[in-house]
Structure 1
Amino acid sequence: AGARSVATGAWVRQGAAQDPDGRAGASHLLEHVVFRGTERRSRRQIALALESVGGTLNAYTAREHTGFEARVLDRHLPEAVDVLADLVRHPLLREEDVDHEKEVVCEEIAAVEDTPDDLVFEMHGDGLWGGHPYGRPIMGSRETLAETSRNDLAELHGRAYTGANLVLAAAGAVEHDEFTELVVRGFGDMEPGEEVAAVNPPPRPARGTTAVSRGSAQVHVVLGHPTPGQSHPDRYPLLLLSAALGGGMSSRLFQRIREELALAYAVYSYQSFYRRAGVCGTYLGTRPGSGSAALDAVREVYGDLAREGLAGGELRRTKDQVKGEIVLSLESPAARLHRLAGFALVGEAFVPVDELTRRIDRVSEDDILRLAGEVMDPERQYILCLGPEGAEAAQADHQDWR
C-alpha cells in the first residue's frame, strides 16, 4: 500500500550562529516561546491541533536555521500548514511566556550538563571555533538567557521571520499544486524583509588539546577538523572518508577501537556542514585510565588513512554503503523533507538522488587521499577530553601520524 502520510515544515534562516551578540540562545528561546500561544491559538490548542488527528508537531534550532515540522495523514495537510503559518507568523511573545520558557531552557541546559556525551560536543565546538558564532551553544547559557528580553525576541522575530528567510517544503502523499495553494493561503502575504546574512568562518580555528576534569564513569573524547561548507564539492569525498573511518560496524575505528582493543563501546565519526564551513571528526567514550591508549589507537587509524587513503576494494564498498544508506533513508517522508529543505536553506540547487549517487561514484582514490591528508593532519586537529583523568588522555604523546 502507498504511504498516506505527509511530512511538511517551515524553516527560517536564523539559527544560533546569527544570535545577537550577548544574546546567545535567543533563536532557541524564540522557538520555544512561539508554542506558548499565537493570535489564533492557545498553547493547548497548538498542542491539540495535530495530535488530536494522530499527527506530530515539532521544532528545533540549528546553527544557521530554525525548523518547525509536522507529520500528518494526507487529508490533514491543510491543518498542518495552517498551524505552521500561525506559529511562524503570529506568536504572541508575551513577557510571562518568555520568563516561563527561560526556566524550561535552563532545565534543558542542565540535562545537557548531566549528559557528558552531549556536553563534550558543545565544549568541543566552543573550543574549536573560539569566540566565533559557530562555537556558541545553541541553547545559550543561564547568563545570556537572563539578559535576553521579550523585546529582544520580538526584534529577532520581526527581522528574521520574513519571506526572504523562509523555506517551505512537503514530502510524501502530497500533490505539488495542492501544497502550493496551501502555502499561498498561509504565507503568501508575508513581508519579504531582508535576508539574514550567512556567517563567515573564522580564518583559523583552534588547534591542540584541551582537558576538562569532570566526575563521570567514562572519559569522553572528541577530535574535530574544520572542513569546507555544504555546497563544496569536497563534501562527497568527506562523506566517504567519514563512513570508512567510523560509519558503522565495519568501519576502521569500530573494528580497531572496539572489536580488537575493547577500548570503547561507542566510537564513531561525524560531520556537520554549514553554509560556509563545517566540521568532521571522531567521538569515543572510554574507561578512566584508557584515554591515552584510545587516543593513540585513533591516531594510528587516522595515520593509516592519511598515508594510504582507501584502496580500490574498500573505496567501492564504502561507495555502495553510502549510496545504499541514502536511498534507504529516503523511504521516509521526513528524510525526503529534510533533504528538500537542506538544499534550499543553503541556496543550493536540488540534487536528485540519481545525480547524487553519480557524484559519489565519481570520487577517486586521489580525492580521498588528498582530503585524508588535509583533515587528518595533526596540525589541524582540535581535541577535547572530558571526564575523570581527562588530562591523562590529553597528555598522550602527539606522535607524527603520517
Structure 2
Amino acid sequence: MSGFTEVVIDPIATTGVLSAKLWIRRGSGDDPLGQRGGHQLLGSVLSRGCGPLDHVQLADLVEGCGAGLRCDTHEDGILVSLKCTQNDADRLLPILGWMLQRPHLNPAQIALEKELSLQALQRQQEDPFQRAFDGWRQLAYGKGPYGHDPLGVTADVEALDQNQLIALAAAINDGGSVLALSGTIPEGLQDILQGLGDGEPQASSQGESAVDNGSQKLGQTSTLNSVETEQVVLMLGQATLPHGHPDDLALRVLQAHLGSGMSSLLFRRLREDHGVAYDVGLHHPARQRSAPFVMHASTGVERAQLTLELLMRSWEELLDSVIEQTDLDLAMAKFRGQLAHASQTTGQRAERRAQLRALGLPDDHDRRCVDQLNSLSGVALKTVALQHLKQPILSLCGPASSLSMLESVWGDGPFHSAEA
C-alpha cells in the first residue's frame, strides 16, 4: 500500500512548534450506498490504534509528548491533524503513515465510535437548523456524494461492521493523500518520512469533478420539515461550483457581500432594518464538486413570512441588480481579510496547503485570487449570478401551520417555477 502521495513543507519561524495535516482524498462523498457514515466511522477509528500501537499506547504516546491528534471526516476527505514540538516529530510523524497503512480497526473500538456517531446523529435530529440543512441537502443533491451529512444516516451507521470498514480502509489511499507540514521543520525530516511516503505523485481528480448538482427532483423547489417549536429555520440556496472554478471567485465575493459580518447585506436587512432574525448568514464552503451556496435565517413564527420575503428579495437582487461600487469594495476587502485571518496559525497554513493540493489547485491559488479581484466588476458578479444562481431551492423547518403558509408565499414567488 502506498504512503503519502505528496508532501508539502512550509517552514515558519515558531518556538519549536510543528503542525502536520494529512488530507486523505476519500471522505463521506465516497461512502457506498447503504454505508453512509462509513468514512466518518473509519476516520474516527484511525486514531484508536495503528501500526505497533494499540489505542492505549497511542494515546499515551501522544499525550505524553503534550501533542494533539485528531481525525475529522469531511465530504471530500479525511483530515488528520497533528500538532507537536519539533523534538517529538521523529516519534509522532510515523503515526500518520501507520494510519494509512496499518490501522487496527479493533471491533471494540469500532463499537465505541459507532455508538458516539449514533448519539451525534440523534443530537442532530433535535436541532432545527440541522434538520433544515439536511432537507435542503437531500433535495439539492439527492443520492449524490453531498446528499448526506458526513456523520451518515442512522440506519446505515447501525449496520456498519468491521468487515465493511476493512474494505474501506483497503481503498483509503486510492485517491492519494497530501501531508502538509508548517512551522519549525525538524532536522532530518527526510529520514523521518523515508518509507512513509513511497507513493508516486498522482493526478488530482479535480479535472474530473464536473459541475454536478446531484439528482434534484424535477420541478420540486422546496422541502418542509415539520417540528413543533416556536422557531422557524429557513434555507434558500443552490448547488453551484467546485472550488477553483473560474467563476468561484465571484461567488466568494458575493458570499462576503451577503453574509460576512455585521455590515453584510443579510445582517443589515434582516437584523438591523427589520429585526426578524435570531441568526442569519450564508454558507458557501470550498468543495471539490458543486458547493452549496445557501442563505440561512432563524426567526420566530410570527416573523417567518417577512423573513422569507426578505431572503427571496435578497436573492432576486443578485440576478436583477448590479452591486454598488462601495458595497463591492467592502466585499473585496472582507474577502482579503478572510484569507489573511485564515492563515494566521501554522495549523491553518498547513490545512490550507493540504486542501489546495488535494483539490488539484496551485499552492499560490489564494494569492492569484487576490490578484484577480481588481478585474471583477458589479456587472461581472451579476453575470455569474445569472449563470449559476437562477434555480434556488427552499428548505423550511418549523411548526406545520407556519410551513404551510410559507410554502404558499414561496409558490407565489419568482423561483418556484424555474426549470430544474
Cα 1:102–1:375 change in 2 (3 A) is same
Q: Give the aligned residue type for 1:183.
A: L
Following the alignment from structure 2 to structure 1, what is the Cα–Cα distance between the partners of residues 243 and 202? 25
Deviation at 1:236, TM superposition (A): 0.7
Q: Give the aligned residue type for 2:244.
A: S
Following the alignment from structure 2 to structure 1, what is the Cα–Cα distance between the partners of residues 24 and 224? 36
Cα 1:350–1:47 change in 2 (3 A) is same
Deviation at 1:202, TM superposition (A): 4.2
Deviation at 1:280, TM superposition (A): 0.6
In structure 1, the residue matched to 2:398 is 387
| SS of match in other structure, 1:349 | coil
| SS of match in other structure, 1:222 | strand
Give the alignment partner of residue 188 of structure 1, picking from 194, 197, 209.
197
In the superposition, the TM-score normalised over structure 2's length comes to 0.87
Per-residue CA deviation, residues 99-120 of structure 1 (Å, 9 max, x unaligned), is 3322121111112112222332
Following the alignment from structure 1 to structure 2, what is the Cα–Cα distance between the partners of residues 183 and 396? 60
| SS of match in other structure, 1:262 | coil
| SS of match in other structure, 2:261 | coil
Q: Give the aligned residue type for 2:414.
A: D
In structure 2, the residue matched to 1:359 is 372
Following the alignment from structure 1 to structure 2, what is the Cα–Cα distance between the partners of residues 301 and 116? 23
Determine if the alignment matches structure 1 residue 322 to structure 2 residue 335: yes
Following the alignment from structure 1 to structure 2, what is the Cα–Cα distance between the partners of residues 79 and 216? 52
In structure 2, the residue matched to 1:50 is 62
In structure 2, the residue matched to 1:213 is 226
Deviation at 1:267, TM superposition (A): 0.2
8 Å Cα contact 1:55/1:70 also seen in 2 = yes
Cα 1:387–1:13 change in 2 (3 A) is same
The 5-angstrom pairing of residues 23-42 of structure 1 reads: 23-42=35-54
Deviation at 1:234, TM superposition (A): 0.9
Determine if the alignment matches structure 1 residue 173 to structure 2 residue 184: yes
Cα 1:196–1:365 change in 2 (3 A) is closer
Cα 1:189–1:329 change in 2 (3 A) is closer
In structure 1, the residue matched to 2:8 is none
Give the alignment partner of residue 346 of structure 2, picking from 333, 339, 357.
333
Deviation at 1:168, TM superposition (A): 0.7
| SS of match in other structure, 1:266 | strand
Following the alignment from structure 2 to structure 1, what is the Cα–Cα distance between the partners of residues 199 and 280? 46
Per-residue CA deviation, residues 162-200 of structure 1 (Å, 9 max, x unaligned), is 5x511111112226x854443334x13469999989666
| SS of match in other structure, 2:98 | helix
In structure 2, the residue matched to 1:227 is 240
Following the alignment from structure 1 to structure 2, what is the Cα–Cα distance between the partners of residues 196 and 157? 20
Cα 1:137–1:222 change in 2 (3 A) is same
| SS of match in other structure, 1:289 | helix
5+ unaligned residues in a row in structure 2: which ranges? 1-11, 416-420
Give the alignment partner of residue 309 of structure 1, picking from 316, 322, 335.
322
In structure 2, the residue matched to 1:264 is 277
Per-residue CA deviation, residues 64-84 of structure 1 (Å, 9 max, x unaligned), is 211111122333333331222
8 Å Cα contact 2:27/2:76 also seen in 1 = yes
Cα 1:184–1:364 change in 2 (3 A) is farther
8 Å Cα contact 1:221/1:383 also seen in 2 = yes
Q: How many residues align?
A: 397
The 5-angstrom pairing of residues 129-144 of structure 1 reads: 129-144=141-156
Cα 1:353–1:129 change in 2 (3 A) is closer
Q: Give the aligned residue type for 1:171.
A: S
Deviation at 1:134, TM superposition (A): 1.8
Deviation at 1:370, TM superposition (A): 0.8
Segment drifting more, 98-107 vs 348-357? 348-357
In structure 1, the residue matched to 2:414 is 400
Deviation at 1:142, TM superposition (A): 2.3
Cα 1:394–1:174 change in 2 (3 A) is farther
Q: Give the aligned residue type for 2:104.
A: L
8 Å Cα contact 1:291/1:392 also seen in 2 = no
Deviation at 1:358, TM superposition (A): 0.3
Deviation at 1:43, TM superposition (A): 1.5
In structure 2, the residue matched to 1:155 is 167
Cα 1:123–1:182 change in 2 (3 A) is farther
Per-residue CA deviation, residues 197-233 of structure 1 (Å, 9 max, x unaligned), is 9666246635511111113341111112121211201
In structure 1, the residue matched to 2:91 is 79
Following the alignment from structure 1 to structure 2, what is the Cα–Cα distance between the partners of residues 280 and 180? 42
Following the alignment from structure 2 to structure 1, what is the Cα–Cα distance between the partners of residues 151 and 301? 29
Q: Give the aligned residue type for 2:194.
A: V
Segment drifting more, 46-55 vs 4-13? 46-55
In the superposition, the TM-score normalised over structure 1's length comes to 0.90
Cα 1:353–1:213 change in 2 (3 A) is closer
Q: Give the aligned residue type for 2:119.
A: E
Cα 1:387–1:145 change in 2 (3 A) is same
Deviation at 1:28, TM superposition (A): 0.7
Deviation at 1:284, TM superposition (A): 0.7
Per-residue CA deviation, residues 303-333 of structure 1 (Å, 9 max, x unaligned), is 2232223222221121112112211321111
Determine if the alignment matches structure 1 residue 70 to structure 2 residue 82: yes
